[in-house]
Chain A
Amino acid sequence: DGGITQSPKYLFRKEGQNVTLSCEQNLNHDAMYWYRQDPGQGLRLIYYSQIVNDFQKGDIAEGYSVSREKKESFPLTVTSAQKNPTAFYLCASSIYIRGGQPQHFGDGTRLSIL
């Protein structure tokens, strides 16, 4: 079945540590996205990518980094510069970034601080 796979489901970060969240899709979608969800808040866009080797900052990119070396993969690194990383992280994809195409979501990664 086609879909988006995020791993791990739960992740713990120590102070000063960088951690990487995985997102893989087999939907052959060009566009991929990373969102952060905090309790009582809507989803906020961290980074997005329209095509391989291209990515753009979203609304809350500080303290995060991404890469898009392959069409099917869009990993997110939460760096030590992100001072409040505890949140639920969601990866999404769409056929392309132009309007009219729905976004499909993975099951998320919950990141906590040790």
Chain B
Amino acid sequence: KQEVTQIPAALSVPEGENLVLNCSFTDSAIYNLQWFRQDPGKGLTSLLLIQSSQREQTSGRLNASLDKSSGRSTLYIAASQPGDSATYLCAVLSPNSGGSNYKLTFGKGTLLTVNP
């Protein structure tokens, strides 16, 4: 059974710092890994999707890496801003023998606070 863990559960940093959020998964047989952002009381916004054959993806100040063999991904946020404050969720798409062909398994998220 795929399990996704995110560390740390919460992180508070001053504005301008570069930071790294971590995601690990137990089964390396994944199709892709996706990072989401969730603001309080809102749905999820997709930030980056890394296919299993890729090593990293970049979008603006965000960079996500994937090491499938070790079951790890990191989300790097450069020059953090107060507007980056949100919960960041990692999810992996992997085969599911329970009936569907694929299953998206989510971590519990990292709550990021960027202080002005």
Contact = CB atoms under 8 A, between A and B. Distances in A.
Name the prevailing secondary structure of the B interface residues.
strand
B34 A103 contact: yes
B38 to A, nearest CB: 9
B41 A110 contact: yes
Interface stretch (B12-20, B75-83, B105-113): B105-113
Interface residues of A, number: 28
B100 interface: yes
Interface string A92-114: 10000111101111111010000
A105 to B, nearest CB: 4
Contacts, number: 59
A106 B89 CA distance: 15
Contacts of B49: 102
A45 B99 CA distance: 13
Interface in B34-85: 34, 36, 41-46, 49, 51
15 contacts: A6-B43, A40-B108, A42-B105, A42-B108, A56-B99, A58-B100, A88-B41, A98-B101, A99-B31, A100-B51, A105-B36, A105-B46, A107-B43, A108-B42, A110-B41
Interface of B: 4, 31-32, 34, 36, 41-46, 49, 51, 89, 91, 93, 99-109
